[in-house]
A and B are shown apart, each in its own frame.
Chain A
Amino acid sequence: EAGVTQFPSHSVIEKGQTVTLRCDPISGHDNLYWYRRVMGKEIKFLLHFVKESKQDESGMPNNRFLAERTGGTYSTLKVQPAELEDSGVYFCASSQGGRGLYGYTFGSGTRLTVV
């Protein structure tokens, strides 16, 4: 079974530019999560999709961040315009059914650097 795929693996952009991160979850996984880790800090929850619906987006930092999940398959996370403090590693994870607490599979992450 293919794992969770994230693209790109690295992105360096200038402050004020737009970046779109993509996540392809494991096929059949209804739950999709976005997390972010700023260097040296904890991994912080951003949002949770169940199929195409946003179940919880309480962790989204501000309205510069927009997440979508087309048809309940892949998800994108757009940052527009990017700020310096947006730098970090963005992880996507997926799980199958229910609360999905323990069945998380994480992607390798996208390392975003805003300069």
Chain B
Amino acid sequence: GQQLNQSPQSMFIQEGEDVSMNCTSSSIFNTWLWYKQDPGEGPVLLIALYKAGELTSNGRLTAQFGITRKDSFLNISASIPSDVGIYFCAGPRTNAGGTSYGKLTFGQGTILTVHP
């Protein structure tokens, strides 16, 4: 089945540092999504990527859709304490014809801790 592998599993950084995390799959995804989960809350969509090679920004966040369509990257610049949380990549499950069913496959998450 479609699986997503995220790395690193956790990161401990100082405020102001830049952060990079990635997500890889053995299967092709036609869409990549990045979510953030704050403690005690549900995941919130940060960035959606729709085309191979696409680079999209949302404030200090930048995500890229890998050319092979089997990976994606998320970068956070100049981290701040409120960036703390769990970051998940996700992609829609598709059938052989490329049709999505609406359900998502998620990675295991990257836990980010930012020290002031």
Comparing A12-20, A69-77, A79-87, A105-113, the segment that makes contact with chain B is A105-113
* Chain B, residue nearest A91 (CB): B42
The answer, yes or no, to whether B44 is at the interface (CB within 8 Å) is yes
- B: which residues have CB within 8 A of A? 4, 31, 33, 40-45, 48, 88, 90, 92-93, 100-109
Distance of A104 Cα from B31 Cα, bound (Å): 14
Q: Is the Cβ of B106 less than 8 Å from the Cβ of A108?
A: no
Number of interface residues of A (CB under 8 A): 26
Interface contact B44-A99, CB-CB below 8 Å: no
- Taking a contact as CB atoms under 8 Å apart, the answer to whether B103 and A33 are in contact is yes
Which label, helix, strand, loop or mixed, suits the secondary structure of the B interface? Answer: strand
Bound: A48/B103 CA distance, A: 7
Would you call A8 an interface residue if the criterion is a C-beta within 8 Å of the partner chain's C-beta atoms? no
Q: Are B108 and A104 in contact (CB under 8 A)?
A: no
B3 to chain A, nearest CB (A): 8
Give A37-71 interface residues, CB cut-off 8 Å to B: 40-45, 48, 55-56, 59
Contact residue among A31, A41, A99, A104 (Cβ-Cβ distance under 8 Å from B100) = A99
Q: Contact at B108–A42, with CB atoms within 8 Å? A: yes
Task: Please name 8 further chain A to chain B contacts, defined as beta carbons within 8 Å, in addition to the given A43-B106, A45-B104, A99-B100, sorted by A numbering.
Answer: A33-B102, A42-B107, A43-B43, A48-B103, A56-B103, A99-B92, A99-B102, A101-B31
